[in-house]
Amino acid sequence: MPACCRQCQGIEYEFNEAVARRELARYRRRGPVGTTRTLIQALRASGVAGQTLLDIGGGVGAIQHELLSAGVERAVSVDASAAYLAAAREEGRRRGHDGRVSYVHGDFAQVAEDVPPAGIVTLDRVICCYDHMPALVGAAAARAQRLLGAVYPRDTWWNRLGIGLLNLGLRLRRSPFRTFVHPQREIEAILRRHGLEPRSRAQTFSWLVAVYAREGAG
């Protein structure tokens, strides 16, 4: 793994083996969580058969597992948490996806140039874990040939308050990890500069689920 920023060190610390094992067990029992399920459904509605997938910060791999089963040909999974990658790889083997997924451990903004473009790029609850949002979103958009799907916090006062309190708790625990609410208008401005326009949006009290497409994408 390349030299990593303090935030990535925090990701390794917070999203450790114990957390990954719990999330994998929950996924096996219940399937993807609500917003992840919504994103998967939106991507499937846009067509995934024969596509390639770049799953950035995919955790235990819910999106890649579901979309590979739905017709995606192959996937690349990039994550700053070694424990999450190990859990995703384990589940991929269990589902018979060996040979169809490549795994990259690192900060995506640092390793992006070594990752091939894909028809579909996903950022599921990843933007909120990244301090330098423009680098992450810009690199992801540059590799999205057709669609980019994302789940990130709505820019509301209650989210800013909640994340502020969460970060206070992290600071008191001396964790290097922090969370962020990045403005939707800034995220979408970066995507537009890379030729991606909103195709669908859904929201919960806390989260925005959005799919962006290149002009002319089927």
Q: Which residue(s) pair with 105 in the sheet?
A: 79
Q: Is residue 44 part of a domain?
A: yes
Give the span between the Cα atoms of 123 and 208, in whole angstroms.
12
Structural domains in the chain (count): 1
Q: What is the pLDDT of residue 152?
A: 98
Give the span between the Cα atoms of 69 and 147, in whole angstroms.
18
For the chain, which residues score pLDDT lower than 70?
1-4, 217-218
Residue 169's domain is classified under what CATH number?
A: 3.40.50.150
Q: Which residues contact 116 (CB under 8 A, 6 or more apart)?
A: 52, 54, 76, 143
Domain with 64, as residue range(s), is 6-214
Q: Is residue 196 part of a domain?
A: yes
Q: Is residue 32 part of a domain?
A: yes
Q: Is residue 178 part of a domain?
A: yes
Question: What pLDDT, in 10s, does the model give residues 95-146?
Answer: 999 889 999 999 999 999 999 999 999 999 999 999 899 999 999 999 999 9
Q: Is residue 151 part of a domain?
A: yes
Q: Is residue 1 part of a domain?
A: no
The amino acid occupying position 118 is A
Cα 33 to Cα 40, 52, 65, 79, 202: the distances in Å are 11, 23, 14, 19, 15
Cα 37 to Cα 131, 149, 188: the distances in Å are 26, 12, 22
Does the predicted TM-score (pTM) go above 0.85?
Answer: yes
Give the span between the Cα atoms of 19 and 3, in whole angstroms.
23
